[in-house]
Amino acid sequence: MTQPFTVIVPARLASTRLPNKPLADIHGLPMVVRVAQRAALSNATQVVVAADSLEIVKACEAHGIKVLLTKADHPSGSDRLAEASALLGLSSQDMVVNVQGDEPLIDPELINQVAALLQNRSTASMSTAAHAIHDVAEFTNPNVVKVVLDQAQIALYFSRAPIPWWRDGFDTGINTLPTPAPLRHIGIYAYRVGFLQSFPKLTPAPIETGEALEQLRALWHGYKIAVHVTDSAPGPGVDTPEDLARVRAIFKA
């Protein structure tokens, strides 16, 4: 039986590519509410939105979503999660799953799988997910984060570059994929609260700064990240107005 866990959805009003993103209407409900409702279909004991503004708090409360007002100036999502876990009074051994606030089509079973993986991997401090890439354009896209695993499905490295690379890859140009298929990282994380509280205090890593990938801080400091490899790609997230239109069409259908 999976250890009880809490889902925390960090929601930040400021967004460079899509202003007021958490409040964007998706078929009659704010996006952050849609995300929380999907997460509530998982085995989580509670789903809590960690908001940075009263506008998000009011939107959640209007639809019966549990919400906490956190500091507006957190430098990262993990800082917001750490504050939320403290406000909730969670113990160091409790588990938290971070579901991104722009994933209104998140699969509830994926949330369960990431939580169960962390529970079963006592040597890992975090867990996350990935799926196989079958499209060259996706492999070469720097906005698509790739991950390479060891034999125990522990992350070796995350990168925006196309990895793993093969020796003769440059000879023919990037028009094919390596074998086995590379893996696309899915931005969902489970943490034990004790690690979550200490993570923001770790020195940012040079590789983290260069890649703009916060999870590399954990690897750089020697912590392990277990990765669940799922057979199916997640539903589209929302980063741009085009993404929002795509997701609205799916809900309308």
pLDDT for 235 equals 83
CB burial class (10 A; 0-12, 13-18, 19+) of residue 223? middle
Q: Phi-psi bin for 89: left (phi > 0), alpha (psi -120 to 50), beta? A: left
pLDDT for 3 equals 85
Domains of the chain with bracketed CATH: 5-252 (3.90.550.10)
Lowest mean pLDDT among 3-7, 16-20, 58-62, 184-188: 16-20
Distance CA 40, CA 67 (A): 13
Mean pLDDT, rounded, of the chain? 93
pLDDT for 234 equals 84
CB burial class (10 A; 0-12, 13-18, 19+) of residue 207? middle
Distance CA 102, CA 89 (A): 26
3-class DSSP assignment, residue 119: helix
Q: Do strands 25-26 and 29-30 pair parallel, antiparallel, or not at all (unpaired)?
A: antiparallel
Per-residue pLDDT, averaged over 231-241, amounts to: 86
Share of the chain above pLDDT 70, in %: 98
Angle (CA) 250-188-223 rounded to 5° is 165
pLDDT for 87 equals 96
Indicate the pTM of the whole model. Answer: 0.94
| pLDDT, tens digit, 9 for 90 and up, residues 165-182 | 887 777 767 788 888 899
User: Which tokens belong to 122?
Assistant: 């006592």
pLDDT for 1 equals 61
